Structure 1
Amino acid sequence: MPDTTDVSGTTLWHTFSVRDAEAMTAWLRAVGFTEHATYRDEADPSVVVHAEWAWPGGGGIMFGTERPDSAIAGTGPAAAYLVTPDPDAAFDAAVAAGATVVRPMVDQDYGGRGGSVTDPEGNHWSFGDYQPA
């Protein structure tokens, strides 16, 4: 039976915690994310309580500084697949900003092009132009 799920208008916001919010925000900015909102702890501004960073093509990520009382405590390293019309540019920007190459950019047998890195926090990011249906 075919899948008739309507995914039009679907937006994904990936969520994770980070150890060093300043380093992560610098890395995200270098990759191409834009800050939508960042809320910091009034007593310790180095602690991000909640942040929302948007991807220009839609969707984005939410994160906060790792802390025991966080709603996302213990999420640890995460993985995300970022669909973009120019995956090579996003990949190159990620590497230039300090990411470690896991899988170089290649043309995939199933269509599209993709590669993956780990960010400074150890999260796994895949960049590609293949849009899952």
Structure 2
Amino acid sequence: MKFGKRLKKQVEESLPGWRDKFLAYKRLKVLVRLVSADHRLGSSSPHRAAVEAAFVQLLNDKVDRFNAFFLEQEEEFIIRHREVRETAKAVADDEQRQPSEMRREIVDLHGEMVLLLNYSAVNYTGSPPTSIFGRSA
């Protein structure tokens, strides 16, 4: 499966609040094609330099947004995990409480953590550590 289709599928399967947090793949792809076209023509024009700079800037901005979002979610998961542990202890101590509510919390937390893992993997795949132009970004 091509990366663009994989990314689209991942966005559709993510939580609604996360959908705008993914890689701007189409915008980056357009910039790559512009640079590539200039390169094939043997051009080292100011236009190519501007497009390269736009690509690197967009990529860096997206990586910063990915990291901030991931850290925010990670912190939220740590807090929720602590709450679930406290709820589990309370359920274990009180025989009258129903464990089904707690199970639902655990399943939801686990599902969201898997989504975050997939979010991280797909955005990492689309954000190479070095630029396509042969220099570190």
Q: What is the TM-score with the length of structure 1 in the denominator?
A: 0.30
User: Radius of gyration: which is bigger?
Assistant: 2
Return the structure number with greater helix share: 2
Q: What is the TM-score with the length of structure 2 in the denominator?
A: 0.29
